[in-house]
Chains A and B, each alone.
Chain A
Amino acid sequence: MRETLIDPCCDACWHGPAEFCNDLLRCLASGPCCHDSASCAQERQRRRQALRRDVVERPTIFVGTGTCGLGAGAARTLEAIQAWLLEHDRRADVVEVGCIGMCSVEPLVEVQLPGRTRVCFQHVTERTVPGLLEKALAGEMPAESVLGQHRHERLQPWSGVPYLDEHPFFAPQTRWVLANCGIIDPSDLDEYLAWGGYRALAKVLADMTPAEVCRAVELSGLRGRGGGGFPTGRKWSIANGRPGPQKYLVCNADEGDPGAFMDRAVIEGDPHRLLEGMAIAAYAIGASKAYVYIRAEYPLAIRRLVHAIGEAKTRGLLGERILGTDFHLEIVIKQGAGAFVCGEETALLHSIEGRRGMPRPRPPFPAQAGLFGKPTVINNVETLANVPAILDHGPEWFASVGTAGSKGTKVFALSGKITRTGLVEVAMGTTLREIVFDIGGGIPDGKAYKAVQIGGPSGGCIPLQHLDIQIDYESLKTVGAMMGSGGLVVMDEATCMVDVAKFFMDFIQRESCGKCIPCREGTRRMLEILQAITRARRNESGFDALQRFQGVMALEQLAEVIKDTSLCGLGQSAPNPVLSTLRYFRDEYEAHIYDRKCPARACSELLTYSIDVERCVGCGLCLKACPAQAILGTPKSPHYIVAEKCISCGSCVTVCRPKAVRVE
């Protein structure tokens, strides 16, 4: 068993896992404070260093086993590492950590040898494990798989190994919320404590009134990271000002946007940061019960959170009389069945209450009458994860980074047509260009950038001409997008914007809760109009073509009405995928509608296939491959595609050796 910070250092130390001391955190950080002993102080220091891995006594191997890592095969990598160690009788600590964010090169494995810095390796599969360990444990870092080494002031660096913080993916980032992700063992409270965890909570409980906490958070300029951007401190103040003995704090971890996984990564990699943030928030608003509403599709995150809550309780950091004060907090995990609409505050509350997840009209706002009719504050995971650092370092520290209206950092999940996908955290004010081209490494395969979709289904697409826009709640709105929860999907020239709009509309209409008419019926009709304009004439019947034209004319008006009349924020932003693509890519819509062509060649039904007579050698392969008998021709003379019969399957293109099939 690993030693913990709580174990007594000597006989004078009376506390232990079963009996903890109210000065615990101060004692852990600079103790012991109950008795004066240099050797004990030294012992504490030693343990702290061991937990922070400033000192390791034997080789330590870290495997990133977040959900993203597991998806890339980290479980098999982990197994192979353990098997290799056993087989070669090598003693080393194997630690499962969260994700450092660079999903595109997973599985990630880090190796730390005693006295040396920690080195990160990319693409470590079960096949490459033996070769890697053989070399790495022998002190030789194979350059082909090295990603970089962590910087450490007291440990000897490896020569010839680049520093991770100089890597283009990490260099422009400001990692506050993600500071511990991929570094510490998320299942070990002591590691979090050794890195200064729960220090902010202890300070708040000892020295600050709830109103002061609200004020500090308001001063810091922290705004809701779930997308809305409402000032967090003000939200807390409103709830703190409401009378009544029972109030609730709800953490919204119902991350529903396609392509978003920020909350999952934070919970998987650093669950105590969230718990500490929740404890501070609950104290600030006067709540003694808090809920984490998390989707059941996040089993690992739920497991880590359950474990973390259990650990924190046994140390008196949650539960009754936290750190010896009169503050109690019970945290309950409520698993959602995965409905997009349950990310909406009032629907989420209904779901926690055991009712169907459907929004209700506001006012009253949740801060006035929320969960079970009581004042309730709902904050997103990232928002709460920002809180400990704000109170630890002070609101001025937090406000020193960012733009005039948006302070601190923002975590984004970078995905799509981009070289380096992953989880990034940048200071507010960073430009989109830096994120896409510096951190993300630009568009792969030499293709051109077309747009980035920000803010999930409710967000918007930002084209090339606005790429230098700063990440900021207000500025994003000026270009028809929104901050959203942090999904960033990059699209290249081969992406059809009508197709993108269609994808998001399909998502939205399926995920509409079905309550209000404009969202339920309107989004379905909008999707059908988009489907109609990407459908080939040959697949239309009767008056479909006429209806297609009528539909197109109604598309914008329909979008306006949905925006104008829908019940909840999701409905009001439901037409955004269409409005935002129409705003910048109207020409693509027009090409689909009038020319019946897809400029990006993504809408397969609108492609036409023909054979270049100059190139065709008359081999007959395409004729045999065509499932629709749409190709005519005699051997050794150029063949011909009958457009009316062609079903645009592309089989002829695949088999044609002289590349004589043209696709337009």
Chain B
Amino acid sequence: MHIEVNNRPIEAQAGETILAALRRAGVSVPTLCHMEGLLPSGACRICAVEVEGQRSLIPACSYPVAEGMKIRTHSPRAVAARRTIIELLLSNHPDDCLYCVRNTSCQLQTLAAEHGVTQRRFSGLRSNHTIDISGPALGRDPAKCILCGKCVRECEEVQSVAAIDFIGRGSATRVGPAFNEGLNLSSCILCGQCVMVCPTGALFEQSHLRQVMAAIQDPEMTVVIQHAPAVSVTLAEAFGLPPGQDMAGTMTAALRRLGFDQVFDTSFSADLTIMEEASELVQRLTSGGILPMMTSCSPGWIKFMEEFYPDMLGHLSTCKSPQQMLGAVIKSYWAPRQGLDPTKVFSVAVMPCTAKKFEASRPEMVHDGVADIDAVLTTRELVQLIRMHGLDMLALPPEPADRPFGERSTAGKLFGGSGGVMEAAIRTACFLVTGKDPEALEVEAVRGLHGVKQTRVKVGELELGVAVVSGLGNARKLVEQVRAGRDDLHFIEVMTCPGGCIAGGGQLLGVDRAGLERRLAGLYAIDAAGAVRMSHHNEAVAELYREFLGQPLGERSHHLLHTHYHRRDVVK
């Protein structure tokens, strides 16, 4: 199909939207409400283009191309309309860009600058809304909301949580949880995907930077930090380096310069998780436990199950997540061995995740008044901390992490992407069942960004049905199937965010699918080049069992590394 854009012919495919054709041809039209992969909503109207023969401007995001269509994307009429729309948004927007969490990364700000909006043409009443910081990990400032609806759609159509929706009508329309209550009473699972799609500062994480900086400054405190597998393959993007590059060494060096006393790697406790979780799976398989077993590393998913499927909680692995496992062994094992009082150890985690902030605050994660984890920073907060301290990430020499919890297998590192837990667990489960390492380590069927991946794997004599899902909309469908009696599955990996932790709600903003693929490729490259590629070969983990824990699923493990779940009643 041939269409003409700005007097130049381009090829288009029948059935696609004008926007799709324009993007392929490299013609840029701004959008605020467009979401790749979802049906167009047509709310923002900023992508309006002029189409010959049409009375009014046409939204490129939702209008299908037609043979011979003549489009002008930047005619004076279209540009003036876009500009007016931006001015209208600004007329109802707080003028506090300098104090905004999204200052310099706000799409509205960028668009206003690009369109040369330097004068206030419209002024009048602004919608008056209060900030909601009731949620344990996320906050909302509805005054900054431009009602593009992306958060609503992400929450409902992608995550199937539907914690927020539009309320009211006319200029009083706003986005909020049911009955305009606080997020803390809603079904919000704190995944932070809404933050990722929000074009402005209307949604943000509750920052822990202040507590962390105070702890670093406290001479009595020993501050330890752990970083999640997905962080090191993401950080590069913030400093102008290609996505997917592993920055673990540089990051460790930076963290030390920021004042952290010990730098550990969450991939270590991912290995520990695998030891426990693979053992639990084998135990369930051999002793008739509840199957399929579902992973429990992703705290948003846990809250989702507690809210929507309390009857299915028995399917969840009782293993704590790697963050919490490492937190627990730091305070109960490492601190005493160092001669430190656990209450004087401040344990920080850098996570690609906002729900981890919530997880760290769960009452189950506190023992005798000592929390496993004291503060959680997102990747974004880490970048801010690095910038605040003026560290030149391009010039820092890489450094190794601290022992003993800096040692990891590359299986643990794979946790950063969807399918990683599954792959690591299969490697170790094979060893647990047969006593031998598997011949082929890669399980291609569970790799990649697809939301639903299913396959059958041989573990010794056993053939297991396994499924890997990411994005809770996909997870919900699978849980429904299991609830309805589907019985060909034994083990299911669920990650809350579509694509896994590399696409987590605490990650850098503005990444596209290609960027995610680079991050994932980064993880696979680390695994391919790894010296130790199976969790059960992690010497530090083996030592921890020898010295302290005893054996997987043992008494100490049960106490420190496992948890329980409970039904949650929320407004939904």
Query: Hey, what's the 0/1 contact readout for A494-520 against B, CB within 8 Å counting as 1?
Result: 000000000000000111111111101
Is B84 an interface residue when CB atoms closer than 8 A count as contact?
yes
Q: Which of A134-150 contact B (CB under 8 A)?
A: none
Give the residue of B123, B146, B165, B171 whose beta carbon is less than 8 angstroms from that of A356: B165
- Pairwise interchain contact A511-B170, C-beta atoms closer than 8 A: yes
A509-533 interface code vs B (CB 8 A; 1 in, 0 out): 1111111111011111100100000
Which single residue of chain B is at the shortest CB-CB distance from A524? Answer: B171
**A contact residues around B100 at 8 Å (CB):** none
In this assembly, does A215 line the interface, its C-beta being within 8 Å of a C-beta of chain B? no
Chain A positions 566 through 596: 1 when the CB is less than 8 Å from some CB of chain B, otherwise 0: 1100001000000000000000000000000
Whether B170 contacts A517 by the Cβ 8 Å rule is: no
Q: Kindly state whether residue A363 has any CB partner on chain B within 8 Å.
A: yes
**A514 to chain B: which residues have CB within 8 Å?**
147, 166, 168-173
> Could you say which of B41, B122, B146, B165 has the most chain A C-beta atoms within 10 Å of its C-beta?
B122
Which residues of chain B from 286 to 316 have a CB within 8 Å of any chain A CB? none
Q: Are B42 and A522 in contact (CB under 8 A)?
A: no
Q: Is the CB of A564 within 8 A of B121?
A: no
Rounded to whole angstroms, the CA-CA distance of A383 and B66 in the bound complex is 32
Q: Which of B62, B63, B84, B166 contacts A561 (CB 8 A)?
A: B84
In residues 43-68 of chain B, which contact A (Cβ within 8 Å)? Answer: 43-46, 48, 56-57, 59, 62-64
The prevalent SS among residues of A at the interface is helix
Complex formed: what's the CA distance from A557 to B81 in Å? 9
Tell me, rounded to whole Å, the shortest Cβ–Cβ distance linking A319 to chain B: 34
Which of these binds chain B: A89-97, A125-133, A196-204, A547-555? A547-555
* Chain B hits for A567, CB < 8 A: 42-43, 45, 59
Contact A361 B45 (CB under 8 A): no
- Cα distance A361–B58 when bound, in Å? 10
The contact of B85 among A361, A363, A510, A517, by CB within 8 Å, is A517
Closest A residue to B47 by CB, please name it. Answer: A565
Residues in A with CB closer than 8 Å to B88 are: 517-518, 521-522, 525
Interface residues of B in 492-539 (CB under 8 A from A): none
A517 and B45 contact, Cβ closer than 8 Å, known pairs A551-B122, A565-B81: yes
- One digit per residue, 1 when the CB lies within 8 angstroms of any chain B CB and 0 when it does not, for chain A 241-268 equals 0000000000000000000000000000
B316 shortest CB reach to chain A, Å: 32
Cβ–Cβ < 8 Å partners of B57 in chain A: 564-565
Asked whether any CB of chain A lies closer than 8 Å to the CB of B285, the reply is: no
Known: A518-B45, A567-B45. A561 touches B171 (CB 8 A): no
Question: Within 8 Å of chain A (Cβ to Cβ): is B563?
Answer: no
**How many residues of B are counted as interface, with CB atoms below 8 angstroms from the partner's CB atoms?**
39
Given A513-B169, A514-B170, verify A557-B84 contact (CB < 8 Å): yes
Instruction: Please give the distance in Å from B294's CB to the nearest CB on chain A.
Output: 31
Chain B 97-132 near chain A by CB (<8 Å), digits 1 or 0: 000000000000000000000000111110000000
Nearest CB on B from A588, distance (A): 22
Choice from B59, B77, B146 contacting A361 with Cβ under 8 Å:
B59
The residues in A between 31 and 79 inclusive whose CB is less than 8 angstroms from any CB of B are: none
What sequence of 0s and 1s flags, for each residue 66-89 of chain B, a beta carbon within 8 Å of any chain A beta carbon? Answer: 000000000001001100110011
Q: Does B40 contact A (CB under 8 A)?
A: yes
In the complex, A54→B41 CA distance in Å? 58
Give the residue name and chain of the A residue nearest to B149 (CB): A515
| B170 cross-chain contacts in A, Cβ below 8 A | 509-514, 520, 523-524
Complex Cα gap A565–B44 (Å): 9
Instruction: Across the interface, name the chain B residue whose C-beta is closest to A566.
Output: B45
Q: Does A339 contact B (CB under 8 A)?
A: yes
- Most chain B CB neighbours (cut-off 10 Å) among A512, A515, A518, A528: A515
B166:A358 contact, CB within 8 angstroms? yes
Report the minimal beta-carbon distance from A162 to chain B, rounded to whole angstroms: 49
**Residue B92 lies at the interface, judged by CB distance under 8 Å to chain A:** yes
Nearest-CB residue, chain B, relative to A565: B45
Residues of chain B within 8 A (CB-CB) of A525 are: 88, 91, 122, 124
Minimum CB–CB distance for A575 against chain B, Å: 12
Cα separation A558 to B48 with both chains bound (whole Å)? 15
Asked whether A515 lies within 8 Å of B123 as measured between CB atoms, the reply is no
**Complex contact B169–A512 (CB within 8 A):** yes
**Bound CA span A90–B253, Å:** 105
CB distance B91 to A356 under 8 Å?
A: no
Question: Which residues of B are found within 8 Å of A523, using beta-carbon distances?
Answer: 170-171
Q: How many angstroms between the C-alpha atoms of A339 and B89 in the bound complex?
A: 24
A564 to chain B, nearest CB (A): 5
Residues of B within 8 A of A515 (CB): 41, 43, 147, 149, 166, 173
A563 to B41, CA, bound (A): 19
Q: How far is the CB of A343 from chain B (nearest CB, A)?
A: 14
Among the listed B44, B80, B125, B146, which residue makes an inter-chain contact with A528, where contact means beta carbons less than 8 Å apart? B125
* Contact, CB under 8 Å: B123 / A547: yes
Q: Which residues of A contact B123 (CB under 8 A)?
A: 547
Q: How far is the CB of A506 from chain B (nearest CB, A)?
A: 10
User: Which residue in chain A gives the minimum CB-CB distance to B50?
Assistant: A564
- Bound together, the chains give a CA A198 to CA B124 distance in angstroms of 56
Could you say which residues of chain B place their CB within 8 Å of the CB of A511?
A: 169-170
Of A522, A557, A558, A563, which contacts B56 at CB under 8 A? A563
Q: What residues on A are CB-neighbors of B64 within 8 Å?
A: 363
Q: In this assembly, does A334 line the interface, its C-beta being within 8 Å of a C-beta of chain B?
A: no
Most chain B CB within a 10 A radius of its CB, from A517, A547, A572: A517
Most buried by B among A339, A363, A522: A522
CB distance from A313 to the nearest CB of B (A): 36
- A572 in contact with B56 (CB, 8 Å): yes
Q: How far, in whole Å, are A366 and B126 apart by their CA atoms in the complex?
A: 36
If A512-B171, A522-B88 touch, whether A361 touches B40 (CB-CB below 8 Å) is yes
A563 CB to nearest B CB, Å: 7
Residues of chain A within 8 A (CB-CB) of B56 are 563-565, 572
Q: Closest A-chain residue to B64, C-beta based?
A: A363
Within 8 Å CB of A289, what residues of B? Answer: none
Smallest beta-carbon distance A346→chain B, Å: 10
Q: Choose from B43, B80, B81, B169 the contact partner of A516 (Cβ within 8 Å).
A: B43
B85 and A518 contacting across the interface, CB-CB below 8 Å:
yes
A514 CA to B145 CA, complexed, in Å: 12
CB < 8 Å: which of A339, A363, A564 contacts B81? A564
Contacts of A363 in B (CB 8 A): 63-64
Q: How far is the CA of A554 from the CA of B119 in the complex (A)?
A: 13
Residues of the B chain whose Cβ atoms lie less than 8 Å from the Cβ of A516: 42-45
Closest residue to B40 on the A side, CB-wise?
A361
A433 at interface by CB-CB < 8 Å:
no
18 A–B contacts from the bound complex (CB under 8 Å): A361-B63, A511-B169, A512-B170, A512-B171, A514-B166, A514-B170, A516-B42, A518-B45, A518-B88, A520-B147, A521-B92, A523-B171, A525-B124, A557-B80, A564-B56, A564-B77, A565-B48, A567-B59
**Additional A-B contact list (10), CB under 8 Å, known A361-B42, A513-B170:** A514-B147, A514-B166, A516-B44, A520-B147, A521-B92, A525-B124, A551-B122, A564-B57, A565-B48, A567-B59
Q: Identify the 3 closest CB pairs spanning chains A and B, nearest first.
A: A514-B173, A361-B42, A361-B62
